[in-house]
Structure 1
Amino acid sequence: MRSVLKKIRPFSLKTVLIVPFVLQIVTAVGLVGYLSYRSGQKAVEDLANKLLEETAERVSDRVNSYFDQSRQFVTLNRLAVEQGDLDLTDVDQVYWRLWR
């Protein structure tokens, strides 16, 4: 009879009770760690994308501002030539106009 019980119960009661709890704890900690890691990666990726978009918008605004100033400068000088205020053959006058 004892040999039959030893074959049926090869593990002690202590082992049978402890192992499932340890496995459960290890699984829970591993799952929480993995989910936390993935969440952190997503948060960093979202922040990086937001930063890239903001940087691109700022660069675009600066470039547009620069070109707007250039367009205004060209338009004002074209109007000055059309109105006769600026004589393109007079180098000194063109120099001082562009300098200002």
Structure 2
Amino acid sequence: MKKTTTRRQPKPPAAYFSYQLRQPAIDLFGEIVVIEDDLYDWVAAVAPLHLSPRAFANYVRSYDVAAKVHHAKRHGMFDTIKDGPSRPWHARLALHAIM
């Protein structure tokens, strides 16, 4: 009697966005992890005008955003800053037009 076996299809890998993968603030060696998503979240919260690729790269480099994120994570302020209400950057333009 010949035995037939059916192979199971492997499950497809789960598709996660990078913002869905939460990493602890401190890695295995005790260092604070700063990833590109953290930099993007910081710039989106603090200076949303600089979210185009070129402006983002210049802003991150010029204002040393990685060090600011590192400091904020160390002191537990990163989530507060990231989730805080952002000021509308265009409000100053309307005020300038009124005056």
For the superposition of Structure 1 and Structure 2, which TM-score range results when normalised by the shorter chain?
under 0.3
Larger proportion of helix: 1
The normalised TM-score by structure 1 is 0.26
Query: Whose relative contact order is higher, 1 or 2, with alpha carbons under 8 Å and at least 6 apart?
Result: 2
Structure with higher Rg: it is 1
